[in-house]
Amino acid sequence: MGQDKFVRPRWKILNSRVPATVSDVIDIILGNRNLDGAAFAGELKDLADHLSIRGMSEGAGLLARHMAACEKIVVVADYDCDGITSAAQMALFFQEIGYPNFEVIIPSRQEGYGIPQRAISGNLDAKVFIALDCGTLDFEPVRRACSMGADFIVIDHHEVPSTASGPNHAPATVLINPKHPACGSSFKEFCASGLTFLFLAALRRALRGMGSRLPCPQLGGKYLALAATGTVADLVPLISANRILARSGLRNLNANSFAPLSHLAAGAGLSGKTLTAGHIGFYLGPRINAAGRVSEGQIAFDLLTSRDPAKLARLAAELEDLNGQRRAQEEKIIREIASRLDQHPPRGRTLVLGSSDWRPGVVGIAASRVQQALFYAPVVILSIDQAAGVARGSARSVPGFDMHHALFQCSDLLIRWGGHKAAAGLTIAAERIEEFAERLEKVAGAYPPEIFTQRGKVDLELPLSLVDQGLVRALEELEPHGMGNPAPIFALRDARFNSAKIFGKEKNHVRLEFEKGVEGVWWRGASRFAQAGGSNKSLPGSAADMIFRVGWNEFRKKASFEILDLGDLLGPCEE
């Protein structure tokens, strides 16, 4: 499906300075992000500073004592990529040190987010539970486990709500969550996978301090690859410690040091390519997530913890198939929503839509795509279970709108909810959907109107004369890109192209050739290109203002453009 008429950003150029050299380009990009060279200098050893996160040493010491007594450990993790890569790290660590008395539980999507009751009721003999990427708000299961005499360690990064009275998190024995108001950590934006990596480092230290006879493996290779995959896929800012994790993990991924992810990459057609954060975000992460969205997250966990080549090949192929199913379901939802919006254009600042035909495992990614391509607004997409009378769904926000706080203001209408400022999950009685939509719209009405107007951000106008291999290499030093450090976006006014070709199975992509032989591809841009007056028969020398990223065409051995849009440029002082 091409870019739709409902969403078309106006692009604002952040810096009017015209660069004369590649060094100027890099300086402008860093300035736009309020970063400097030091922000890119951190190494793995610098992660040791973050072992002081509230509860980290206490939780590691507690688990080490249980391990010394060989007591049963139950690990519960969310079924998304962050939770599964966290659980895989924990399981691999136990396997590597030869600790046998543990069990890992990955909930099904039908059970919903958080700790399922079966994790507690089915493990009455457990002495310690560990929740990964969940647990902060799981009051009932945590209380029940603790009432049985078990300890409970929660390693989570979801928001800890402020309340006027009473506890503001589940009563775990130890809560490791940098977002807790009492945590003095200098960095709050870890995801669970990054926190799990740090926790295992603290656990190694605790085991050595106790004089444990258990071997303590080095936390390189597979652990860093998993931490990086979870960190990138969960869309936390790739700055500070997260940048160190992502960059170090990518090094290990590209060294093929972890067979499960190598198999997954091969299935995605990435064999032989240098993997980037973009490859994790668009290829590896979605395939891991597809297990929980379409089938069972256990499949992805089994892949990430297996050493059997035949099993790895089978599970990677299964995830590839599940990801194909996920994409087909996602496209179906997007088509239906586009049709609805075409017939009934939205009038407010928010969008709440639901259907009994939409699978709950796919509505989250559908919500993201609706926001990106159909309607720029806080979006909630719901899967309605008519028989049960409930709807389960996902919410996606826009910068400046706190979705977590918005749902808190609607919490009396919700059965269950939780998440972040930018994204959340919720369960609601089907009969209250309309009331919820009205309340959410009322909450949005208190925000400044400019928040709900999309402004694409362009770093600078880039002269075509600077586009060469030297620029590409300099830009590569800014990777990995993600939240907090987005890939640089450039503009070129009156970009003249000599030829245009529509291509792809659905004829929805465009390839343009510019002056000096530079080529650019506009993925899913055919409809917008036509709106801008372009066609296969566009005359040589046609010109348009272009917004693009710079990359490298390995096949042709030259720089290339990834085109994002044509026209509607705003200068630094324009509105």
Helices (H) and strands (E) in the chain, counts: 18, 19
Domain borders along the chain are: 10-39+455-570, 47-318, 346-452
Q: What is the mean pLDDT of residues 317-324?
A: 97
pLDDT at residue 573 in the model: 41
Q: What is the mean pLDDT of residues 336-340?
A: 95
The CATH number of 10-39+455-570 is which of 3.50.50.60, 3.30.70.270, 1.10.287.70, 2.40.50.460? 2.40.50.460
H/E stretch holding 174 reads strand 174-176
- Report residue 63: phi and psi, to 5°: -65, -40
Q: Tell me the chain's radius of gyration from C-alpha atoms.
A: 24
Q: How far is CA 510 from the centre of its chain?
A: 28
pLDDT at residue 532 in the model: 65
Of the pLDDT bands very low, low, confident and very high (cuts 50, 70, 90), residue 1 is: very low
Q: Which residues contact 14 (CB under 8 A, 6 or more apart)?
A: 32, 457, 458, 459, 460, 572
Of the pLDDT bands very low, low, confident and very high (cuts 50, 70, 90), residue 69 is: very high
Of the pLDDT bands very low, low, confident and very high (cuts 50, 70, 90), residue 294 is: very high
31-65 residue pLDDT tens: 998 877 666 667 899 999 999 999 999 999 999 99
Q: What is the mean pLDDT of residues 99-119?
A: 92
More confident: 440 or 545: 440
Q: Judge whether 127 and 151 are in contact, CB under 8 Å.
A: yes
Of the pLDDT bands very low, low, confident and very high (cuts 50, 70, 90), residue 572 is: very low
What distance in Å separates the CA atoms of residue 466 and residue 342, rounded to the nearest whole number?
42
Q: Is the pLDDT of residue 179 over 50?
A: yes
Q: What percent of the chain has pLDDT over 70?
A: 93
CATH number of 47-318: 3.90.1640.30
pLDDT at residue 3 in the model: 39
What distance in Å separates the CA atoms of residue 264 and residue 271, rounded to the nearest whole number?
10
Q: What rounded mean pLDDT belongs to the chain?
A: 90
392-440 residue pLDDT tens: 999 999 989 999 999 999 999 999 888 888 889 999 999 999 999 999 9
Q: Judge whether 378 and 351 are in contact, CB under 8 Å.
A: yes
Identity of the amino acid at 293: R
Q: What is the mean pLDDT of residues 251-270?
A: 94
Q: Is the pLDDT of residue 538 over 60?
A: no
Helix (H), strand (E), coil (C) string for 44-96: HHHHHHHHHCCCHHHHHHHHHHHHHCCCCEEEEECCCHHHHHHHHHHHHHHHH
131-157 residue pLDDT tens: 999 999 899 999 999 999 999 999 999
What fold, for 346-452? Answer: Diaminopimelate Epimerase; Chain A, domain 1 (3.10.310)
Of the pLDDT bands very low, low, confident and very high (cuts 50, 70, 90), residue 8 is: low
341-391 residue pLDDT tens: 999 999 999 999 999 999 988 999 999 999 988 999 999 999 999 999 999
Give the three-state DSSP class for 151. strand
H/E stretch holding 560 reads strand 558-566
Q: Judge whether 15 and 462 are in contact, CB under 8 Å.
A: no
Q: Judge whether 50 and 198 are in contact, CB under 8 Å.
A: yes
Q: What is the mean pLDDT of residues 194-215?
A: 92
Tokens of 209: 């301090």
Of the pLDDT bands very low, low, confident and very high (cuts 50, 70, 90), residue 257 is: confident
What distance in Å separates the CA atoms of residue 551 and residue 276, rounded to the nearest whole number?
12
Tell me the whole-structure pTM to 2 decimals. Answer: 0.85
